[in-house]
Amino acid sequence: MDRDAILLTPGPLTTTLRTKLAMLRDWGSWDADFNAMTAAMRRQLLGIVGALDSHVVVPLQGSGTFAVEAAVGTLVPRNGHVLVLDNGAYCKRMGRVATLMGRRTTVLARAEHEPVSAEELDAALRADPSITHVGFIHCETGTGVLNPLAQVSEVCARHGKGLIIDAMSSFAALPIDARDITFDALVAASGKCLEGVPGMGFVFIRKAVLAGCEGQSQSLAMDLFDQHAYMERTGQWRFTPPTHVVAALAEALAQFLEAGGQPARLARYTANCRTLIDGMAQLGFKPFLHPQWQAPIIVTFHAPQHPAYDFTAFYAEVKRRGFILYPGKLTKVETFRVGCIGAIGPNDMQQAVNAISEAMQALGLAPSH
């Protein structure tokens, strides 16, 4: 094969050559040019969500989960109470994070095939005034379901509760505007819809709540208050930054803005998703979610109802043809997932569908219809 395999996953993603080439230069972590790159990156990130006046953005070394843990630990007081809205694996992870950090945690569970409910949240907040913060996953990547951000934000604002949004899979693709949506923190990462490489998370924190966060984190490395204060004072990262990741993200951001920003990215991912679902339907594959709940980020498909089906063998056959799939994240139903994001377009997605068709033929799997 004369190219790298295309990653049909929710991150890491397929990146452009320009983004890859940006990592060929070494940077000094205290160097003025690198500090200027970090500052420009932070301004551009704030601009994407219209948060230049209302929020700061604090980058953090590590995966998106590092940044989620840092956000919960920094924003929620040690005597706080987090209510996590749960309709999937990443919601459960946020609940586990809050519990392990010793914060009182309540998980409001809902079925994995439908969005969380703003009405149920409203009832829970009325029933328990001790709740201080709400944890919310915008796009639950375990299934691909889109959760109702505007409605949840409105309920939290009405009750005066802090909203912590995990927007890992949605930031820069789905519309989020801090001028319309009230949130205390929003968490995203370099290796998702911005199409950078993994290794850096970042957290938008509302300026009005940041001052009250001093000393709340029990972690040195993940204290976002300290990370922000140090960056504002020196222009530098507190500890060794992922320099190549920052350089790749700076280049990915330039391409994001050149292409038309969030609306253009959403249009491409929507076209990818439509090509995927239509093509897979012709092969007999059924999506796990109802179309109205499906975000154009990642699609969960029911596994073929065939006695010879084995995901590992199926994965290997598709990979041999140049495409990397993602295993299912559900416990009760056998599924696999196909991502629609990354530096790919509908033609790549059609080729992926063709590869899946060939893999099924090679494995002797009759179409599922």
Question: Residues of the chain with pLDDT > 70: what percent?
Answer: 98
Protein fold of 6-11+261-362: Aspartate Aminotransferase, domain 1 (3.90.1150)
Q: In angstroms, rounded to a whole number, what is the distance separating the alpha carbons of residues 97 and 80?
A: 14
Q: What is the pLDDT of residue 333?
A: 87
- What one-letter code names the amino acid at 5? A
Measure the CA angle with vertex 37, ends 33 and 40; round to 5°.
135
Q: What is the pLDDT of residue 2?
A: 55
Question: Residues of the chain with pLDDT > 90: what percent?
Answer: 95
For residue 70, the number of C-alpha atoms closer than 13 Å in the C-beta half-sphere is: 30
What residue segments make up the domains of the chain, in order of their start? 6-11+261-362, 17-258
Q: What is the pLDDT averaged over residues 199-220?
A: 97
Nearest to 199 by CA among 19, 30, 47, 59: 59
In this structure, whether the domain defined by 17-258 belongs to CATH 3.40.640.10 is answered with yes
What residues contact residue 254 under an 8 Å CB cut-off, 6+ apart?
A: none
Q: What is the mean pLDDT of the chain?
A: 96
Exposed, middle or buried, 70 (CB in 10 Å: 0-12/13-18/19+)?
buried
Give tens-digit pLDDT for 1-51. Answer: 457 899 999 989 999 999 999 999 999 999 999 999 999 999 999 999 999
Give the three-state DSSP class for 202. strand
Give tens-digit pLDDT for 284-316. Answer: 999 999 999 999 999 999 999 999 999 999 999
Q: In angstroms, rounded to a whole number, what is the distance separating the alpha carbons of residues 269 and 274?
A: 9
The predicted model scores a pTM of 0.96
Q: What is the pLDDT of residue 366?
A: 64
Q: What is the pLDDT averaged over residues 268-292?
A: 97
Direct distance between the N- and C-terminal alpha carbons of the chain, in angstroms, rounded to an integer: 32
Give tens-digit pLDDT for 135-157. Answer: 999 999 999 999 999 999 999 99
